[in-house]
């Protein structure tokens, strides 16, 4: 693997960029590993990387049924923020944000993390009150969040329509300046490259069909499209397909999988400086470095594994965008796609141990898993290595659905569901 530096870029430019070596080898499975991770998205690859780097466990395989980063890692709207209401969530997402800030240096791979700010619009008195409560709760938790008047919001994001005659007038906004976006594919590639450099096997086009348990109930390995692979520890990080995989180990999950759609416009010159979310009109928007407007909203209403979703939701989303940003009402949309997101009843993740010995799970991120990638991966690696919860992921157990100790971000409504 070539170390990226200004010098290596220059040398390869002079030699016509013909001498670059592959970023990571396409591995074939061995018969046994110490740890198998199911799913090569950002979360799974990140977990492998931190296992190798921080815990010295390098006999690890990441097994992916499709191609690397082809699931929700490649299908989201790349928004990163940590302004969640509850203490548990604030700690987890802020831990992720801390890691995002140094990630390009850490991985020697440019993930294009951009702290451009995420602004959430308040359109009515209820929004104003609940967002101000969020701002105060966040600041008590040491999480950056500030309140803006409508005029300040317009100054921060000039395309915004703050006319009092708008159908959904802007009455103010909560701004997290430290939040922003990153290049989603680069996150998967950067983690894959850094993990492979430390000896992790990344096995693509190899579906995990079942998790095999031994006579004591403990995990023995996984059945795959390329045969049985032995491992005493298996971590499932399979997003929308988590409940299917966990079912094979006899663990029923409090998850439902929904299509979450997003779309991009034709590319235009830089016009949109930040990320804007509006929960009331239900849409969010930013501009990618390629110039496309990246637009998303909530999930479709029905569960599905189709990675498609319906057009009524797209129409609703685009109508909301045109209402808040009339300047974009003649933009043409180029592509739309769907990812399958696994949603928990309280809209918080499940991250850590399971009732089965040697089986770990990282799921339930719903519509907002991308932003958590480094934090989830980092704390899951701790749990897998030490077989005990990390202090940050400890509240995000599967048991909370029995005890009733939910982390109810659904009711807190900090997010566009």
Partner 1 sequence: MLLIRCPYCDETLPELEFAYAGEAHIARALDPSSVTDEDWRDFLFIRSNAKGPHYERWRHVHGCGRFFNAVRDTVTDRFLTTYKAGEAKPDLETLTGDAR
Report the interface residues with partner 1, using CB under 8 A: 241, 243-244, 252-257, 301-306, 308, 310-312, 345, 401-404
Q: How far is the CB of 256 from partner 1 (least distance, A)?
A: 5
Other beta carbons within 10 Å of 157: 22
Q: How far is the CB of 248 from partner 1 (least distance, A)?
A: 12
Question: Given the complex with partner 1, which of 153 and 239 has the nearer CB atom?
Answer: 239
Question: Given the complex with partner 1, which of 21 and 403 has the nearer CB atom?
Answer: 403
Q: How far apart are CA 325 and CA 331, in angstroms?
A: 11
Q: How far is the CB of 369 from partner 1 (least distance, A)?
A: 17
Question: Given the complex with partner 1, which of 124 and 306 has the nearer CB atom?
Answer: 306
Q: How far is the CB of 367 from partner 1 (least distance, A)?
A: 16
Contacts of 164 (CB under 8 A, 6+ apart): none
Which is it for the CA torsion 353, 358, 363, 364, positive or negative? negative
Question: 59 burial class (0-12, 13-18, 19+ CB within 10 angstroms)?
Answer: middle
Question: Given the complex with partner 1, which of 148 and 251 has the nearer CB atom?
Answer: 251
Question: Given the complex with partner 1, which of 20 and 305 has the nearer CB atom?
Answer: 305
Q: How far is the CB of 8 from partner 1 (least distance, A)?
A: 45
Q: How far is the CB of 306 from partner 1 (least distance, A)?
A: 5
**Contact (CB, 8 A) for 146 and 177:** yes
Q: How far is the CB of 129 from partner 1 (least distance, A)?
A: 28
Q: How far is the CB of 239 from partner 1 (least distance, A)?
A: 12
Chain length of the chain:
417
Question: Given the complex with partner 1, which of 77 and 304 has the nearer CB atom?
Answer: 304
Q: How far apart are CA 329 and CA 293, in angstroms?
A: 12
Question: Given the complex with partner 1, which of 162 and 239 has the nearer CB atom?
Answer: 239
188: which 2 tokens? 């998967």
Per residue, the 3-state secondary structure of the chain, as one string, reads CCCCCHHHHHHHHHCCCCCCCCCCCCCCCCCEEEEEEECCCHHHHHHHHHHHHHHCCCCEEEECCCCCCCCHHHCCCCEECCCCCCHHHHHHHHHHHHHHHHHHHHHCCCCCCECCCEEEEECCHHHHHHHHHHHHHHHHCCCCCEEECHHHHHHHCCCCCCCCCCCCCCCEEEEECCCEECCHHHHHHHHHHHHHHCCCEEECCCCEEEEEECCCCCEEEEEECCEEEEEEEEEECCHHHHHHHHHCCCCCCCCEEEEEEEEEECCCCCCCCCEEEECCCCEEEEECCCCCEEEEEEECCCCCCCCCCCHHHHHHHHHHHHHHCHHHCCCCEEEEEEEEEEECCCCCCEEEECCCCCEEEEECCCCCCHHHHHHHHHHHHHHHHHCCCCCCCCCCCCCHHHHCCCCCHHHHCCCCC
Q: How far is the CB of 313 from partner 1 (least distance, A)?
A: 10
Question: Given the complex with partner 1, which of 144 and 256 has the nearer CB atom?
Answer: 256
Question: Given the complex with partner 1, which of 166 and 406 has the nearer CB atom?
Answer: 406
Question: Given the complex with partner 1, which of 176 and 299 has the nearer CB atom?
Answer: 299
Question: Given the complex with partner 1, which of 291 and 310 has the nearer CB atom?
Answer: 310
Q: How far is the CB of 199 from partner 1 (least distance, A)?
A: 34
Q: How far is the CB of 140 from partner 1 (least distance, A)?
A: 30
């Amino acid at each position: 693997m070539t170390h990226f530096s200004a010098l290596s870029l220059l040398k390869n430019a002079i030699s016509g960029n013909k001498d670059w070596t592959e970023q990571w080898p396409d591995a074939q499975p061995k018969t046994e590993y110490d740890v198998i991770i199911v799913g090569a998205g950002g979360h799974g690859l990140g977990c492998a990387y931190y296992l190798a780097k921080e815990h010295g466990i390098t006999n690890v395989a990441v097994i992916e049924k499709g191609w690397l980063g082809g699931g929700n890692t490649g299908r989201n709207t790349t928004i990163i923020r940590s302004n969640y209401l509850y203490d548990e969530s604030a700690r987890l997402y802020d831990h992720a944000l801390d890691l995002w800030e140094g990630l390009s240096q850490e991985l020697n791979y440019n993930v294009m993390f951009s702290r451009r700010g995420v602004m959430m619009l308040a359109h009515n008195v209820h929004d104003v009150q609940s967002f101000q409560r969020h701002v105060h709760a966040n600041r008590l938790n040491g999480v950056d969040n500030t309140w803006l008047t409508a005029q300040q919001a317009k100054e921060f994001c000039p395309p915004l329509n703050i006319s009092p005659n708008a159908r959904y007038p802007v009455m103010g906004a909560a701004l997290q300046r430290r939040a922003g976006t990153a290049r989603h594919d680069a996150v998967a590639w950067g983690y894959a490259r850094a993990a492979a450099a430390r000896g992790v096997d990344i096995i693509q086009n190899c579906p995990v069909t079942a998790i095999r348990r031994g006579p004591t109930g403990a995990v023995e390995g996984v059945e795959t499209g390329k045969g049985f692979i032995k491992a005493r520890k298996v971590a499932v990080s399979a997003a929308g397909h988590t409940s299917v995989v966990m079912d094979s180990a006899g663990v029923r999950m409090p998850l439902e999988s929904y299509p979450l759609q997003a779309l991009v416009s034709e590319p235009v010159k830089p016009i949109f400086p930040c990320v804007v979310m509006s929960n009331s009109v239900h849409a969010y928007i930013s501009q990618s470095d390629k110039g496309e407007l990246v637009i998303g909203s909530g999930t479709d209403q029905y569960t599905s594994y189709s990675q498609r979703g319906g057009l009524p939701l797209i129409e609703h989303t685009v109508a909301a965008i045109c209402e808040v940003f009339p300047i974009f009402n003649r933009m043409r949309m180029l592509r739309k796609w769907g990812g399958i997101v696994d949603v928990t009843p309280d809209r918080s993740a499940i991250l850590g141990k399971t009732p089965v010995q040697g089986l770990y799970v990282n799921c339930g991120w719903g519509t907002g898993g991308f932003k958590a990638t480094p934090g989830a991966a980092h704390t899951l690696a701790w749990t897998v290595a030490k077989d005990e919860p990390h202090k940050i992921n400890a509240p995000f157990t599967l048991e909370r659905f029995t005890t009733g100790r939910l982390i109810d971000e659904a009711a807190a409504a900090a997010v566009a569901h």
